[in-house]
Amino acid sequence: MSQVALQDVKRWSLSEWLQLPEGPPFYELENGRLIQMPSPRREHQRVVAKLFNYLDKWCTVRQLGTVVMEVDVALPTGRGYIPDIAFVRREREAELLAEDGKIHGAPDLVVEVLSEGSRSRDLFRKFEGYQEAGVRYYWIVDPEAWLIAEYALTEQGYVLRSVTEEGEVFRPSLFEGLEIDLKAIMTTTQRP
C-alpha cells in the first residue's frame, strides 16, 4: 500500500503531526488528514524572504516580538499549518514559542504568499482555519496580481482591512508606522 493511501485511511492527531520528521516532504494537518505541500518555486521564496526581512528588522529593532518563516504552527483547533511567515507578540512568546522550535497556539499574524499549488487552500481552507483558531491578522500576498490583502479578526470573523496594489505602499494595521513598498518585495515576479 502506498504512503498516500495510508495517509487517506489513517486519522492523524495534532501530536502525531508534530512528531513527523523534518521534510521534505512537508505536510500540513487538516481534519485528521495529512496534506503534502508542494515545493515552493524560486519566485515564491524570494517574495517570502523579502517580506520576512522587512518584518523581522522592524520587529527586532522595536522589540515587538518574534517573526518566523515556514515553522510548524499547531493551532488550538487541531489543525497544523506551515505558514510562509508568522509573528508572535513579545508578551505571548513564552506562551506560544516552544523549545521544539514550533508555535503552539494562534500567532498574532500569519502571512501566506499565494502560489499555483497553494492558492485555493490559502484563500479558503486556511483562511477559515486561521479565523477559527483566533489568528488576529491574516495577510494574503498575491505575487501574480501584485497585491496584499490584510484581514483583521473581529467577533464576526475576518474583516478585510486593506488591499494594497501595485504602485502603492502597504501600511499594516498591526505595525503602526511600518511601510512596505510592494514594488520592493514583488520585483522578482513577472508583471501580468
Is 5 a domain residue? no
End-to-end Cα, the chain, rounded Å: 43
Query: pLDDT-derived band of residue 188, with 50, 70 and 90 as boundaries?
Result: low
Domain that holds residue 126: 38-185
Task: Evaluate whether residue 10 is within a structural domain.
Answer: no
Q: Does residue 8 register a pLDDT over 90?
A: no
Most confident residue range from 2-11, 87-96, 113-122 = 87-96
Q: Give me the pLDDT at residue 186, please.
A: 87
Residue of 85, 103, 83 whose CA lies nearest to 93: 103
Asked if the structure places residue 98 within a domain, the reply is yes
Global pTM reads 0.91
Residue 88's CATH number: 3.90.1570.10
Write down the pLDDT at residue 122: 84
Does residue 6 surpass a pLDDT of 50?
no
Cell of 157: 470573523
What is the average pLDDT across 26-33? 94
Q: Please indicate, yes or no, if residue 110 is contained in any of the structural domains.
A: yes
Q: Which residues have C-beta within 8 Å of that of residue 55, sequence separation ≥ 6?
A: 67, 85, 87, 111, 175
pLDDT top residue among 118 and 153: 153
Q: Would you say residue 115 lies in a domain? A: yes
Residue 65 forms part of a structural domain = yes
25 in a domain, yes or no?
Answer: no
In the chain, the number of structural domains is 1
Categorize the per-residue pLDDT at 7 as very low, low, confident or very high, splitting at 50, 70 and 90.
Answer: low
Question: Is 161 among the domain residues?
Answer: yes
